[in-house]
């Protein structure tokens, strides 16, 4: 029930904000903050409640489940369930949600009601994606998060927002529809095999199909997730969307929406199509590596701060796909870490870009420089997150990238070596950010240093990233059962009867 409650709180908060926005300018943000906080606390209590000592209390992977018929005519049910992986991402979702509300606090002055409505509904959609255990429901949530995001970019974005919002929407929608086709295909393959038509994940996971079919169906899923992640060559929506979105929008995009792609691969592509996934592992990893390098080079060449950060996302997500297709526990744990830490580090960079834009009214790196003099606090934090972005040990990203590379090394030596060269390039672009914004002669802009609210946001992020860097074990332990199971699935002749293992 807590799972349903999570979605309900977010959605209801959104509606309340929408209605309240008619009368009061500041009411909606209060509501939004309250509902995000409540959601966060709920998830946190769930996590801590299940997390005993060093291991998640796991007599089963599935910690909690909610199941109710929805459209029985098609075998569709409202089926939510959470394992360690989902739980982590849910906590992350709520955390990023709070930050998103906080960093919109002053930035958004118009139509606040509608704004926070959209914000909360995106969160609800993302949360739904992380919980849905019915493929139809999954697709449903997958799309639910799009429209509010589209509004968020399209209404509150900067100059080129309309183009960006179209691009974002059409890319994700197009790929989403392909996934939908694949879901339907899977539905019928399973139905024809067993005579039992259902969208239930735990049933479909055991679908047997000829390899050729599996490849095609998997491609449908893969493309959708690859666009979200994004894997080159499907990344081009990202810089535009990130660049034009309001700060909270970029934060959520980078922090959460991209994660849904990786989550989808972990949750659906590998378990449902282990054979096919193994078959495309090498090309997928090659694309991942290409993404790492390409994203890094592109990031370096950008003059727009937010676009730059967006391309770093492309680069970082390249690690994710490399790690996923390395198919071993080390790499997969690295992927989970990368999902969490990237949300924090890149999110922080976007928040910072937003703060700078609020002060200087530009995202052009050419017009920045020497900001350290006026904003030493931001300068220091900027360096922290630039370092996080380049994977400095001691910060969370390092753990992620190290584990991914370490895991991948076992699978593909040369892929790893090339991917590792991304570490050098990431230093190149990350330091360029620092150089262009904070270093150099001051240009005489008037920019106040961080306010108390902003310090609070950044402090939360800094503490998180350091915590993740020095003591990542809670994350790893929480994700472990899910990851272990995933790895077992990939071993041939070891198809797990997973539906028997969740809590009844």
Partner 1 sequence: MSNSDLHAFTPLLLLAGASVLVMLLIVARLSHRVIQSVSLVLFLVSFASLAYIRNVLPYHIDPLFVIDSFGVFMMGLIIFSGLVVNVLSYIYFEEKEEGPREYYVLLFLCTLGACVLAVSEHFISLFLGLEILTVGLYALIAYLRKRNHSIEAGIKYLILAAFSSAFLLFGMALIYLQTGTMAFADMAKAITSGNVPPLFLTGLGMMLVGVGFKLAVVPFHMWTADVYQGAPVPVTAFIATASKGGVVAVLLRFFIMIDGFRMEGLELMLICIAIASMVTGNLLALRQNNIKRLLAYSSIAHLGYLLVAFIAGSAMVPHAVSFYLMAYFITTLAAFGVIVVLSHREADAEDLSVYKALFWKHPVLACILSAALLSLAGIPLTAGFTGKFYILATGIQGGFWLLAFVLVGSSVVGLYYYLRVITMMFSGAHDHLPEPKEKHPVFLAISMVVLSMLTLMVIWLGVYPEGMLSIVNQFHLK
Partner 2 sequence: MENLLWLIPALPLAGFLILATLAVVGAGKKITALVGAGSICLSALVTLVVGADFLGAAHESGTYSQTLWTWLEVAGLSIKMTLTLDALSLVFIFVITFIGALIHIYSAGFMEEDRDYTRFFASMNLFVFSMLILVLADNLLLMYLGWEGVGLCSYLLIGFWYEKPENGYAARKAFTMTRVGDTAMAIALFMLFYQSGTLVIGEISTAAPGIWTPNSTTVTCIALLLLAGGLGKSAQLPLQTWLPDAMAGPSPVSALIHAATMVTAGVYLIARMHVVFGLSEVAQTVVAVIGAVTLLLAGLTALTQHDIKRVLAYSTISQIGYMFLALGVGAWTAAVFHFMVHAFFKALLFLAAGAIIEALHHEHSMFKMGGLKDKMPVIFWTFMAGAISLAALPLISSGFYSKDQILWYAWGAEGGSPLLWAVALLGAFITAIYTARMVILTFWGEAKTEISHYPGKRMTIPLVVLAFFSVFAGFIELPHNFGHFTLFSDLLHGVMPETALRVDVSSEWIFQLLAAAATLGGIGLAYFYYYKQPQRLENLRQDMVLSALHEFWFSGWGFDKLYNVVFVRPFLAIAKLNKADVIDQLYTGIVAGTDGLYRLVARTQSGSLRWYIMGMVIGAILILGIQMML
Residues at the contact surface with partner 1, assessed by CB under 8 A: 69-74, 111, 114, 136, 139-140, 143-144, 146-147, 150-151, 154-155, 162, 165-166, 169-170, 173-174, 177-178, 180-181, 184-185, 187-188
The smaller minimum CB distance to partner 2, of residues 71 and 428, is found at 428
Q: Are 345 and 465 in contact (CB under 8 A)?
A: yes
User: Of partner 1, partner 2, none, which one sits near residue 26, judging by CB under 5 to 8 A according to partner kind?
Assistant: none
Tell me: cis bond preceding 233? Omega within 30 of 0 counts: yes
Q: How far is the CB of 306 from partner 1 (least distance, A)?
A: 21
HEC readout, 447-470:
CCCCCHHHHHHHHHHHHHHHHHHH
Please tell me whether residue 44 binds partner 2 under the rule CB under 8 A.
no
Please tell me whether residue 328 binds partner 2 under the rule CB under 8 A.
yes
Q: Are 267 and 482 in contact (CB under 8 A)?
A: no
Please tell me whether residue 174 binds partner 2 under the rule CB under 8 A.
no
Gap between the Cα atoms of 266 and 486, Å rounded: 8
Token readout for 395 is 């910060």
Please tell me whether residue 333 binds partner 2 under the rule CB under 8 A.
yes
Q: How far is the CB of 140 from partner 1 (least distance, A)?
A: 5
User: Of partner 1, partner 2, none, which one sits near residue 448, judging by CB under 5 to 8 A according to partner kind?
Assistant: none
β-bridge mates for residue 77, sequence order? 69
Please tell me whether residue 394 binds partner 2 under the rule CB under 8 A.
yes
Sign of dihedral through CA atoms 442, 447, 453, 457? negative
Q: How far is the CB of 382 from partner 2 (least distance, A)?
A: 12
For residue 287, how far is the Cα from the chain centroid?
19
Kindly state the DSSP code that residue 391 receives in the 8-state scheme. T
Please tell me whether residue 58 binds partner 2 under the rule CB under 8 A.
no
The smaller minimum CB distance to partner 2, of residues 78 and 163, is found at 163
φ and ψ at 21, to 5 degrees?
-60, -20
Please tell me whether residue 456 binds partner 2 under the rule CB under 8 A.
no
φ and ψ at 327, to 5 degrees?
55, 40
* Selected binder of partner 2 within 79, 161, 235, 363 (CB under 8 A): 235
| Residue that is written with structure tokens 């979200």 in the block | 228
| Region for 100 from its dihedrals, namely left if φ exceeds 0, alpha if ψ lies in -120 to 50, beta otherwise | alpha
Kindly state the DSSP code that residue 501 receives in the 8-state scheme. S
Question: Are β-strands 51-52 and 55-56 bridged in parallel, bridged antiparallel, or unpaired?
Answer: antiparallel
Token readout for 449 is 């240093």
Q: How far is the CB of 206 from partner 2 (least distance, A)?
A: 26
Please tell me whether residue 406 binds partner 2 under the rule CB under 8 A.
yes
Q: How far is the CB of 436 from partner 2 (least distance, A)?
A: 9
* Selected binder of partner 2 within 45, 160, 192, 410 (CB under 8 A): 410
Range in contact with partner 2 (rule: CB under 8 A) among 11-19, 62-70, 188-196, 368-376: 368-376
φ and ψ at 64, to 5 degrees?
-160, 150
Question: What is the number of residues in the chain?
Answer: 504
User: Of partner 1, partner 2, none, which one sits near residue 65, judging by CB under 5 to 8 A according to partner kind?
Assistant: none
Please tell me whether residue 286 binds partner 2 under the rule CB under 8 A.
no
Please tell me whether residue 470 binds partner 2 under the rule CB under 8 A.
yes
The smaller minimum CB distance to partner 2, of residues 213 and 421, is found at 421
Please tell me whether residue 376 binds partner 2 under the rule CB under 8 A.
yes
Sign of dihedral through CA atoms 367, 372, 377, 382? positive
Please tell me whether residue 476 binds partner 2 under the rule CB under 8 A.
yes
- Alpha-carbon distances, residue 115 vs 32, 37, 74, 303, 487 (angstroms): 10, 18, 35, 29, 41
Contacting positions for partner 2 (CB under 8 A): 232-233, 235-236, 239, 294, 297-298, 300-302, 328-330, 333, 370, 372-373, 376-377, 380, 383, 387, 390, 392-394, 398-399, 402-403, 405-406, 409-410, 416-417, 420-421, 423-424, 427-428, 431-432, 434-435, 438-442, 455, 470-473, 476
């Amino acid at each position: 029930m807590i799972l349903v409650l999570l979605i309900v709180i977010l959605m209801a908060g959104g509606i309340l904000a929408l209605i309240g926005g008619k009368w009061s300018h500041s009411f909606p943000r209060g509501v939004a903050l309250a509902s995000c906080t409540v959601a966060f606390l709920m998830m946190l209590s769930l996590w801590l409640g299940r997390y005993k000592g060093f291991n998640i209390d796991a007599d089963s992977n599935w910690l909690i489940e909610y199941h109710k018929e929805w459209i029985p005519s098609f075998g569709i049910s409202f089926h939510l369930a959470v394992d360690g992986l989902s739980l982590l991402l849910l906590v992350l979702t709520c955390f990023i949600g709070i930050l998103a509300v906080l960093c919109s606090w002053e930035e958004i002055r118009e139509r606040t009601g509608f704004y926070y409505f959209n914000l909360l509904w995106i969160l609800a959609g993302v949360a739904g994606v992380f919980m849905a255990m019915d493929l139809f429901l999954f697709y449903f949530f997958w799309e639910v998060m799009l429209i509010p995001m589209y509004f968020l970019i399209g209404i509150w974005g900067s100059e080129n927002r309309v183009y960006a919002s179209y691009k974002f929407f059409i890319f994700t929608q197009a790929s989403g529809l392909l996934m939908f086709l694949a879901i339907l295909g899977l539905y019928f393959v399973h139905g024809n095999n067993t005579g039992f038509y259902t969208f239930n994940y735990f049933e479909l996971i055991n679908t047997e199909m000829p390899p050729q079919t599996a490849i095609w169906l998997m491609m449908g899923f893969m493309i959708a997730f690859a666009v979200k992640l994004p894997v080159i060559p499907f990344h081009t929506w990202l810089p535009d969307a990130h660049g034009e979105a309001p700060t909270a929008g970029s934060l959520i995009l980078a922090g959460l929406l991209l994660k849904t792609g990786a989550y989808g691969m972990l949750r659906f592509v590998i378990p449902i199509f282990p054979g096919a996934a193994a078959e495309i592992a090498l090309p997928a990893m090659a694309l991942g590596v290409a993404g790492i390098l390409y994203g890094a080079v592109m990031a370096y060449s950008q003059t727009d701060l937010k676009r730059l950060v967006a391309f770093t996302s492309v680069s970082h997500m390249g690690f994710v796909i490399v790690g996923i297709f390395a198919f071993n526990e080390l790499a997969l744990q690295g992927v989970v870490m990368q999902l969490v830490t990237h949300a924090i580090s890149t999110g922080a960079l976007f928040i910072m870009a937003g703060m700078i834009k609020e002060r200087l009214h530009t995202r052009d790196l050419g017009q920045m420089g020497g900001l350290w003099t006026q904003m030493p606090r931001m300068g220091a934090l900027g360096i922290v997150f630039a370092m996080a972005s380049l994977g400095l040990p001691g910060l969370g990203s390092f753990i992620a990238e190290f584990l991914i590379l370490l895991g991948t090394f076992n699978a593909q030596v040369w892929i790893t070596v090339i991917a590792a060269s991304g570490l050098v390039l990431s230093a190149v672009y990350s330091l360029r950010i620092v150089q262009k914004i904070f270093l150099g002669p001051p240009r005489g802009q008037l920019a106040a240093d961080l306010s108390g609210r902003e310090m609070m946001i950044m402090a939360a992020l800094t503490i998180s990233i350091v915590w993740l860097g020095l003591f990542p074990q809670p994350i790893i332990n929480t994700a472990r059962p899910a990851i272990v199971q995933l790895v077992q699935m990939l071993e041939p002749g070891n198809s797990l009867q997973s539906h028997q293992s969740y809590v009844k």
